[in-house]
Structure 1
Amino acid sequence: MAPRTTPDPARRSERSRSAVLTATTELVAEIGYSKLTIEAIAARAGVGKQTIYRWWPSKGAVVFDAFLAVNQHEGGLTLPDTGDLGADLRAVLRPTCDELTDPDADRTYRAIIAEILNDPALHAEYRTRLLDPLLEITRNRLRAAREAGQLAPDTDLDLAVELVYGPLYYRWQYRLGPLTHEHADQLVDAFLRALAPANGRPDA
């Protein structure tokens, strides 16, 4: 007679957690953030509401974790370093445009941002787990470009990071125009012209 194996609570908990995140991702895409409820997530995931509340304090926190899980599955936060700064920035901003123009993603991102702005605890998590690592990765890539002579030696890296992402998200947030690959390329070209070494500028 084969020996019985003792159930592993940690593995069972991880399966439940994964089911909750998957259910959240599916439901946000199907019905949108505003109609999403903890009850619906629990029913789709096959867990009790208290299981969800044991791990997450709010609906916004669950959706944020689901968002992070998808991004980590797709490769996490990365910024390529091929030696060509323009190509590397385009490789980041073009897919960002594609994401933000997807209706489901657009609706979810706007809802998450609203939650982040109104929930200090969620905002702290957002900074720690997503925004700050992204800014640091970008800052390191720009530092390498500065050291390679692709950016002016006096380039302020913090300001440069804002110039990479700020215009795109400003256009998205206020719906000022379409987010296209062409627009992303224009932003990259403007960035490179603004921060080029003196001997690389047209008026040098």
Structure 2
Amino acid sequence: MTPSTPDPTRRNEHSRRAILAAAVDLISELGYEQVSIEAIARRAGVGKQTIYRWWPSKGAVALEALDDSLSSVVSFPDSDDLVEDLRTQMKGVTRLLGSTQVGPVYQGLIAAAQSDPALSRAHLDTVIEPAIVACRERLARARQHGQLRADADEQALIDMLYGAIYYRLLLHTRPLEEDQVDAVLDIAVKGFQ
């Protein structure tokens, strides 16, 4: 079991959902650094020992809450149009991170992961790698159908497409907006077709 994985044999699903919701609510209200396991437990109506039984840290709770939230937007549609499929998926991610409470959770988690190697690794394994695999699979299908140049560097394309989202989210250069997806895809399409 990774540091972010609750022990499924000791879970009460109602309590688990309450804990994840409390973590998201508190982090979006107060900021990641100001939230404690004790505060999450109080808000969720559980004992802090319940949280520590399932998660080793606040970061692990936040990571599971983030992963649950992102699960609805990380999969790729598979129409016959790569650009539209990327647009749909990227706009879903942008909408979720930019207009809900999930954005502050992600920002706090990324900040905490900079000084917590276990949390950083768990984030990569739980959130980033599955998303990269899903995107690569969609790009491979596009390549098979002639929608992606044979010599296009898939990892560079993924970095460029999603880096634009994370750049705004984490550096606050501008608000996350769905229009940015259109602009990024317009530039990227010229390079990969």
TM-score norm. by structure 1 comes to 0.80
* Consecutive unaligned residues in structure 1, runs of 5 or more: 1-9, 197-204
What is the distance in 1 between the residues matched to 2:65 and 2:106? 12
Does the CA contact (< 8 Å) of 2:103 and 2:169 recur in 1? no
Contact 1:32 1:104 survives alignment (8 Å): no
Change (3 A) 1:53 1:146: same
Q: What SS does the corresponding residue of 1:101 show, helix, strand or coil?
A: helix
Matched, 1:189 2:172: no
> Please, which moves more after superposition, 101-110 or 132-141?
101-110
How far off is 1:76 after superposition?
A: 5.7
Aligned length: 185
Distance 1:191 1:119 in 2: 34
Structure 2 length-normalised TM: 0.84
1:22 aligns with 2:21: yes
Structure having greater relative contact order (Cα 8 Å, sep ≥ 6): 2
Q: 1:176 to 1:41 in 2, by over 3 A?
A: closer
Deviates more, 1:31-40 or 1:111-120: 31-40
Following superposition, the deviation at residue 70 of structure 1 comes to: 2.8
Note if contact 2:24-2:105 (Cα within 8 Å) is conserved in structure 1: no
Alignment-mate amino acid for residue 177 of structure 2: T
Corresponding residue of 1:59: 58
Distance 2:120 2:80 in 1: 34
TM-aligned CA deviation for residue 132 of structure 1:
0.3
Indicate conservation of the 8 Å contact 2:32/2:108, yes or no. yes
Q: Does the alignment pair 1:47 with 2:50?
A: no
Residue 152 of structure 1 corresponds to: 149
**Looking at CA atoms only, which structure, 1 or 2, has the larger radius of gyration?**
1
Q: Percent identity?
A: 39
Alpha-carbon distance, 1:178 to partner: 3.8
Tell me: CA distance 1:66–1:190, structure 2 relative to 1, closer, same or farther (3 Å). Answer: same
Give RMSD over aligned pairs: 2.2
| Partners of 1:23 and 1:44 within 8 A in 2 | yes
